[in-house]
Amino acid sequence: MPTVILFGPTACNNETRLRSLLKNAWQIIALPDDTRLEPLHRALPQADALISLMWQPEMAVAEIRLRLIQALGAGVDAYDTKALPDGCALCNVYEHEAPIAEYVLGAMVALTARFVFHDRQLRQGRWDGTGRRDGAPHAELAGKTVGLIGYGGIGREVAKRAQAFDMKVHALRAHPHSSSNGTAPDWVGGAAQLPELLRASDFLVVCCSLNTETRGLLDRTQLARLKPSAYLINVARAEIIDEQALFEMLKEHRVAGAALDVWYRYPATIEQMLLPAEWPFHQLDNVLMTPHLSAWTDAMIERRWQKIAANLDALAAGAELHNVVAHGAERRV
């Protein structure tokens, strides 16, 4: 019987769900404390698969037979692909595109109509913005341009919803001349067209992966290309945008506002109190802050674990794995 280790609270909290989805018999070892490596080191020599939020060199042991390290999400920046055991595949899992796209459109509406501001005002009896007393009007999404940095699964789902709102869609992707595979943007460019995308965007949505090319992509120079009326929405990784430059742009209202769901620092536990950045974004009234929750829906979690169970079953059956990101070197004889 093959053995899988669930490492960390996120994996272990879904043990019952995983057991109900597996079609093959698996021995499951649950290690909920991912701050302690000793129990992991003791269990690894007997394990065929590991489900974890990370993989780093210090997690490995000399005697190891892992054939699968299963990520719990799409991003693999916490997994050192150079440290993969010989013959072991790193696989990720998606299923987050639709809820993130819903978050993006919701953020656009909330920022444009200034939901948070007007909610706070009305709780104090202030009717700023009301049409009943000729208050300052807000904008509409229809006719505006959404610029997408990245046109993978998330970008395509955002585009589909944005076009339903009668918005124009401009997108950057690695291969701008390839097939759209679904909703076609009104304009497509490559990395060299980033300045053009920024200047055209009423809403800039960052939905690309974090890698050596995108880390720090939006620095002070690039952010300055945005319109003062533009809004920025980041659902990818915080490190794609220069933290200080973004804070100063927002504080000085050189852009209208932002919705930020990804951050520069995270707590070690859910109980830890921690502001998510070195710069005080929480003091800005033009920033909508959420704690990396845009994808985190009941339906998305169920879909992901269905895919994870299917990958374990494929491994047990000797079948092809899904969503292979990287391979460790082949085992030496």
What CA–CA distance (Å, rounded) separates 77 from 90?
A: 12
Domain span holding position 83: 3-95+298-327
Mean pLDDT, residues 158-175 taken together: 96
- Whether 163 and 253 share a structural domain: yes
- Parallel, antiparallel, or unpaired for β 324-327 and 287-289? unpaired
Residue 331 has pLDDT above 50, yes or no: no
- Whether 22 and 156 share a structural domain: no
Residue 332 belongs to a domain: no
Q: DSSP character for 285?
A: T
Residue 155 belongs to a domain: yes
State phi, psi for 305 to the nearest 5 degrees.
-70, -25
pLDDT at 178: 67
Q: DSSP character for 139?
A: -
What CA–CA distance (Å, rounded) separates 314 from 323?
A: 12
Is 115:128 a contact under the CB 8 Å cutoff? no
State phi, psi for 303 to the nearest 5 degrees.
-65, -40
Look up residue 275 and give its two tokens: 């502001």
- Whether 187 and 200 share a structural domain: yes
How many domains does the chain contain in total? 2
Q: Which of 211, 11, 34, 196 is nearest to 93 (CA)?
A: 11
Name the least confident of 265-269, 288-292, 329-333: 329-333
Please name every residue paired with 259 in a beta bridge, in sequence order, or none if there are none: 233, 288
Residue 333 belongs to a domain: no
- Whether 172 and 310 share a structural domain: no
- Whether 213 and 271 share a structural domain: yes
Band (pLDDT 50/70/90 cuts) for residue 330 is low
Q: CATH no. for residue 241?
A: 3.40.50.720
pLDDT at 180: 61
Inter-CA distances, 93 with 1, 90, 124, 173, 309, Å: 24, 10, 45, 21, 11
- Parallel, antiparallel, or unpaired for β 203-206 and 231-234? parallel
pLDDT tens per residue across span 251-273: 999 999 999 999 999 998 889 99
Residue 204 belongs to a domain: yes
- Whether 134 and 196 share a structural domain: yes
Q: Which of 211, 206, 157 is nearest to 180 (CA)?
A: 157
Residue 306 belongs to a domain: yes
- Whether 85 and 159 share a structural domain: no
The size of the chain, in residues, is: 333
- Whether 315 and 220 share a structural domain: no
DSSP secondary structure letters along 259-319: EE-S-S---SSTT----SSSS-GGG-TTEEE--S-TT--HHHHHHHHHHHHHHHHHHHHTP
- Whether 162 and 285 share a structural domain: yes
CA angle 7/13/19 to nearest 5° reads: 90
pLDDT tens per residue across span 85-143: 999 999 999 999 999 999 999 999 999 999 999 999 999 999 999 999 999 999 999 99
Q: What sign has the CA pseudo-torsion 302, 307, 312, 317?
A: positive
- Whether 138 and 269 share a structural domain: yes
pTM over 0.85: yes
- Parallel, antiparallel, or unpaired for β 324-327 and 89-91? antiparallel
- Whether 128 and 38 share a structural domain: no
What CA–CA distance (Å, rounded) separates 10 from 314?
A: 22
- Whether 85 and 227 share a structural domain: no
SS3 89: strand
CA 94 to chain centre: 10
Look up residue 196 and give its two tokens: 């053009």
